[in-house]
A and B are shown apart, each in its own frame.
Chain A
Amino acid sequence: QQQVKQSPQSLIVQKGGISIINCAYENTAFDYFPWYQQFPGKGPALLIAIRPDVSEKKEGRFTISFNKSAKQFSLHIMDSQPGDSATYFCAASGTSGGYQKVTFGTGTKLQVIP
Protein backbone atom coordinates (compact mmCIF):
# COMPACT_ATOMS: atom_id res chain seq x y z
CA GLN A 1 0.00 0.00 0.00
CA GLN A 2 1.58 3.21 -1.20
CA GLN A 3 0.58 5.90 1.25
CA VAL A 4 2.44 8.65 -0.57
CA LYS A 5 1.98 8.77 -4.32
CA GLN A 6 4.49 10.74 -6.37
CA SER A 7 4.47 11.80 -10.01
CA PRO A 8 5.96 11.98 -12.52
CA GLN A 9 8.49 9.16 -12.34
CA SER A 10 10.88 11.12 -14.53
CA LEU A 11 11.06 14.68 -15.78
CA ILE A 12 13.17 16.48 -18.35
CA VAL A 13 13.27 20.27 -18.17
CA GLN A 14 15.29 22.82 -20.06
CA LYS A 15 17.67 25.08 -18.20
CA GLY A 16 15.78 28.08 -16.88
CA GLY A 17 12.45 26.27 -16.89
CA ILE A 18 10.18 25.31 -14.01
CA SER A 19 10.24 21.77 -12.65
CA ILE A 20 7.08 20.57 -10.90
CA ILE A 21 6.76 17.35 -8.91
CA ASN A 22 3.48 16.33 -7.33
CA CYS A 23 2.64 14.17 -4.34
CA ALA A 24 -0.56 12.99 -2.67
CA TYR A 25 -0.98 11.34 0.69
CA GLU A 26 -3.75 9.37 2.35
CA ASN A 27 -3.07 9.35 6.09
CA THR A 28 -4.29 12.52 7.77
CA ALA A 29 -2.08 11.71 10.79
CA PHE A 30 0.98 12.92 8.86
CA ASP A 31 2.08 16.28 10.18
CA TYR A 32 5.28 17.14 8.38
CA PHE A 33 6.11 16.99 4.70
CA PRO A 34 9.79 17.03 3.74
CA TRP A 35 11.41 16.76 0.34
CA TYR A 36 14.70 14.96 -0.07
CA GLN A 37 17.19 15.38 -2.92
CA GLN A 38 19.47 12.53 -3.95
CA PHE A 39 22.45 12.70 -6.28
CA PRO A 40 23.84 9.53 -7.92
CA GLY A 41 25.93 7.48 -5.52
CA LYS A 42 24.85 9.54 -2.51
CA GLY A 43 22.24 9.27 0.17
CA PRO A 44 19.16 11.49 0.17
CA ALA A 45 19.51 14.87 1.86
CA LEU A 46 16.78 17.14 3.22
CA LEU A 47 15.99 19.90 0.73
CA ILE A 48 12.95 21.70 2.15
CA ALA A 49 9.99 20.84 4.36
CA ILE A 50 6.57 22.19 5.28
CA ARG A 51 4.04 21.83 8.06
CA PRO A 52 0.36 21.32 7.13
CA ASP A 53 -0.73 24.61 8.71
CA VAL A 54 1.19 26.50 6.02
CA SER A 55 0.11 26.63 2.36
CA GLU A 56 3.45 27.58 0.86
CA LYS A 57 7.11 27.62 1.79
CA LYS A 58 9.87 29.10 -0.31
CA GLU A 59 13.63 28.68 0.02
CA GLY A 60 15.55 30.26 -2.81
CA ARG A 61 14.45 28.65 -6.08
CA PHE A 62 12.59 25.84 -4.30
CA THR A 63 8.92 26.20 -3.26
CA ILE A 64 6.55 23.74 -1.64
CA SER A 65 2.84 24.27 -2.22
CA PHE A 66 0.53 22.46 0.19
CA ASN A 67 -3.20 21.79 -0.16
CA LYS A 68 -4.44 20.22 3.06
CA SER A 69 -8.04 19.68 1.93
CA ALA A 70 -6.92 17.84 -1.21
CA LYS A 71 -4.11 16.03 0.66
CA GLN A 72 -1.66 17.09 -2.02
CA PHE A 73 1.64 18.90 -2.07
CA SER A 74 4.11 19.79 -4.75
CA LEU A 75 7.68 20.95 -5.26
CA HIS A 76 8.40 23.74 -7.72
CA ILE A 77 11.95 24.41 -8.84
CA MET A 78 12.20 27.80 -10.50
CA ASP A 79 14.95 28.66 -13.00
CA SER A 80 16.01 25.00 -13.08
CA GLN A 81 19.75 24.42 -13.47
CA PRO A 82 21.77 21.40 -14.65
CA GLY A 83 23.07 21.10 -11.08
CA ASP A 84 19.48 20.39 -9.97
CA SER A 85 19.56 17.10 -11.90
CA ALA A 86 18.89 14.51 -9.20
CA THR A 87 16.20 12.25 -7.85
CA TYR A 88 13.63 13.94 -5.62
CA PHE A 89 11.60 12.16 -2.98
CA CYS A 90 8.59 13.62 -1.27
CA ALA A 91 7.80 12.25 2.15
CA ALA A 92 5.24 12.44 4.90
CA SER A 93 6.22 12.21 8.51
CA GLY A 94 4.55 11.69 11.85
CA THR A 95 5.34 10.29 15.28
CA SER A 96 4.04 6.78 15.65
CA GLY A 97 4.76 4.19 18.32
CA GLY A 98 7.62 6.23 19.73
CA TYR A 99 9.53 6.83 16.55
CA GLN A 100 9.55 9.19 13.62
CA LYS A 101 7.61 7.37 10.90
CA VAL A 102 8.63 8.71 7.51
CA THR A 103 6.83 7.42 4.44
CA PHE A 104 8.56 8.18 1.16
CA GLY A 105 7.17 8.61 -2.33
CA THR A 106 8.63 6.55 -5.15
CA GLY A 107 10.92 9.31 -6.42
CA THR A 108 11.18 11.56 -9.48
CA LYS A 109 14.32 11.57 -11.57
CA LEU A 110 14.86 15.12 -12.82
CA GLN A 111 17.15 15.92 -15.70
CA VAL A 112 17.81 19.56 -16.54
CA ILE A 113 19.26 19.95 -20.01
CA PRO A 114 21.36 22.97 -21.03
Chain B
Amino acid sequence: NAGVTQTPKFQVLKTGQSMTLQCAQDMNHNSMYWYRQDPGMGLRLIYYSASEGTTDKGEVPNGYNVSRLNKREFSLRLESAAPSQTSVYFCASSEERNYNSPLHFGNGTRLTVT
Protein backbone atom coordinates (compact mmCIF):
# COMPACT_ATOMS: atom_id res chain seq x y z
CA ASN B 1 0.00 0.00 0.00
CA ALA B 2 1.84 3.09 -1.27
CA GLY B 3 -0.31 5.76 0.44
CA VAL B 4 0.49 9.16 -1.09
CA THR B 5 3.04 9.20 -3.92
CA GLN B 6 4.68 12.38 -5.17
CA THR B 7 6.84 12.87 -8.24
CA PRO B 8 9.44 14.08 -8.83
CA LYS B 9 11.45 13.94 -5.59
CA PHE B 10 13.81 16.73 -6.63
CA GLN B 11 13.65 19.43 -9.28
CA VAL B 12 15.75 22.44 -10.25
CA LEU B 13 14.13 25.11 -12.40
CA LYS B 14 15.28 28.38 -13.83
CA THR B 15 13.24 31.50 -13.21
CA GLY B 16 10.32 31.62 -15.63
CA GLN B 17 10.19 27.90 -16.35
CA SER B 18 7.06 25.90 -15.70
CA MET B 19 6.49 22.49 -14.23
CA THR B 20 3.82 20.25 -12.75
CA LEU B 21 4.15 18.36 -9.48
CA GLN B 22 2.25 15.12 -9.48
CA CYS B 23 0.46 13.50 -6.56
CA ALA B 24 -1.56 10.30 -6.34
CA GLN B 25 -3.18 8.50 -3.41
CA ASP B 26 -4.46 4.95 -3.24
CA MET B 27 -6.50 5.23 -0.02
CA ASN B 28 -9.75 6.28 -1.73
CA HIS B 29 -9.66 9.57 0.16
CA ASN B 30 -12.00 12.36 -0.79
CA SER B 31 -9.90 15.36 0.21
CA MET B 32 -6.46 16.28 -1.07
CA TYR B 33 -4.12 19.15 -0.25
CA TRP B 34 -0.92 20.85 -1.37
CA TYR B 35 1.35 22.38 1.26
CA ARG B 36 4.70 24.07 1.09
CA GLN B 37 7.26 23.80 3.87
CA ASP B 38 9.80 26.53 4.46
CA PRO B 39 12.33 26.82 7.31
CA GLY B 40 10.85 28.56 10.32
CA MET B 41 7.39 28.78 8.76
CA GLY B 42 5.89 25.37 9.23
CA LEU B 43 3.55 24.03 6.56
CA ARG B 44 1.32 26.41 4.67
CA LEU B 45 -1.66 25.38 2.58
CA ILE B 46 -1.48 26.31 -1.10
CA TYR B 47 -4.62 24.68 -2.52
CA TYR B 48 -7.02 21.99 -1.48
CA SER B 49 -9.64 19.80 -3.08
CA ALA B 50 -12.49 18.78 -0.80
CA SER B 51 -13.76 16.25 -3.31
CA GLU B 52 -13.32 15.16 -6.89
CA GLY B 53 -14.12 18.01 -9.24
CA THR B 54 -13.62 20.82 -6.74
CA THR B 55 -10.60 22.91 -5.85
CA ASP B 56 -10.12 25.99 -3.69
CA LYS B 57 -7.38 28.37 -2.63
CA GLY B 58 -5.56 28.01 0.66
CA GLU B 59 -3.32 30.52 2.43
CA VAL B 60 -0.63 31.01 -0.24
CA PRO B 61 -2.11 30.30 -3.71
CA ASN B 62 -0.41 33.03 -5.74
CA GLY B 63 1.76 31.66 -8.55
CA TYR B 64 0.17 28.19 -8.48
CA ASN B 65 -2.64 26.32 -10.16
CA VAL B 66 -4.06 22.89 -9.43
CA SER B 67 -6.03 20.16 -11.13
CA ARG B 68 -7.99 17.39 -9.45
CA LEU B 69 -7.76 14.97 -12.34
CA ASN B 70 -9.80 12.24 -10.66
CA LYS B 71 -10.30 10.98 -7.12
CA ARG B 72 -6.75 9.64 -6.95
CA GLU B 73 -4.72 12.44 -8.50
CA PHE B 74 -4.13 16.08 -7.60
CA SER B 75 -1.46 18.04 -9.46
CA LEU B 76 0.18 21.39 -8.70
CA ARG B 77 1.43 23.57 -11.54
CA LEU B 78 3.90 26.43 -11.45
CA GLU B 79 3.36 28.43 -14.66
CA SER B 80 6.34 30.76 -14.29
CA ALA B 81 8.63 29.73 -11.47
CA ALA B 82 10.18 32.37 -9.19
CA PRO B 83 13.00 32.04 -6.63
CA SER B 84 10.41 32.65 -3.88
CA GLN B 85 8.86 29.31 -4.83
CA THR B 86 11.98 27.44 -3.74
CA SER B 87 10.56 25.13 -1.12
CA VAL B 88 9.63 21.58 -0.22
CA TYR B 89 6.16 20.73 -1.48
CA PHE B 90 3.97 18.15 0.22
CA CYS B 91 0.80 16.59 -1.02
CA ALA B 92 -1.61 15.20 1.56
CA SER B 93 -4.94 13.46 1.62
CA SER B 94 -7.64 12.83 4.20
CA GLU B 95 -10.65 10.59 4.24
CA GLU B 96 -13.12 13.32 5.08
CA ARG B 97 -13.33 17.07 5.44
CA ASN B 98 -13.92 16.59 9.15
CA TYR B 99 -11.70 18.43 11.59
CA ASN B 100 -10.39 15.19 13.09
CA SER B 101 -9.61 13.26 9.94
CA PRO B 102 -5.81 12.81 9.92
CA LEU B 103 -3.73 14.09 7.04
CA HIS B 104 -1.62 11.51 5.19
CA PHE B 105 1.42 13.10 3.58
CA GLY B 106 3.65 12.08 0.72
CA ASN B 107 7.43 12.33 1.00
CA GLY B 108 7.66 15.68 -0.70
CA THR B 109 9.20 17.33 -3.75
CA ARG B 110 12.23 19.51 -3.11
CA LEU B 111 12.13 22.35 -5.63
CA THR B 112 14.90 24.87 -6.24
CA VAL B 113 14.34 27.86 -8.51
CA THR B 114 17.49 29.68 -9.60
Contact residues of A with B, CB < 8 Å? 4, 6, 9, 31-32, 34, 36, 41-46, 49, 51, 89, 93-95, 97-102, 104-107
How close is B31's CB to chain A, nearest CB, in angstroms? 7
B42 engages A99 (CB within 8 Å): no
Query: In the complex, A43 Cα to B90 Cα: how many Å?
Result: 7
How many residue pairs link A and B with beta carbons under 8 A? The number is 67
- Residues of chain A within 8 A (CB-CB) of B45 are 101-102
The number of chain B residues with a CB under 8 A from chain A is 27
Say yes or no for B94: interface residue by CB 8 A criterion.
yes
Q: Which of B14-22, B74-82, B97-105 contacts A (4 or more CB under 8 A)?
A: B97-105
How close is B47's CB to chain A, nearest CB, in angstroms? 11
B42 engages A106 (CB within 8 Å): yes
From known contacts A43-B90, A106-B40, infer whether A99 and B106 are also in contact, taking CB-CB under 8 Å. Answer: no
Query: Of all chain A residues, which has the CB nearest B92?
Result: A43
- Residues of chain A within 8 A (CB-CB) of B96 are 100
A43 engages B50 (CB within 8 Å): no
B107 engages A43 (CB within 8 Å): yes
A43 engages B108 (CB within 8 Å): yes
Query: In the complex, A111 Cα to B78 Cα: how many Å?
Result: 35
Task: Report whether over half of chain A's contact residues are helix, strand or loop; otherwise say mixed.
Answer: strand
How close is B25's CB to chain A, nearest CB, in angstroms? 12
The 0/1 profile, CB within 8 Å of A marked 1, for residues 30-73 of chain B is: 01000000001111110010100000100000000000000000
Query: In the complex, A13 Cα to B100 Cα: how many Å?
Result: 31
A46 engages B102 (CB within 8 Å): yes
B102 engages A43 (CB within 8 Å): no
From known contacts A32-B99, A100-B99, A104-B43, infer whether A43 and B31 are also in contact, taking CB-CB under 8 Å. Answer: no
B42 engages A89 (CB within 8 Å): yes
A43 engages B100 (CB within 8 Å): no
From known contacts A34-B102, A49-B102, A102-B103, infer whether A95 and B97 are also in contact, taking CB-CB under 8 Å. Answer: yes
- Residues of chain B within 8 A (CB-CB) of A31 are 99
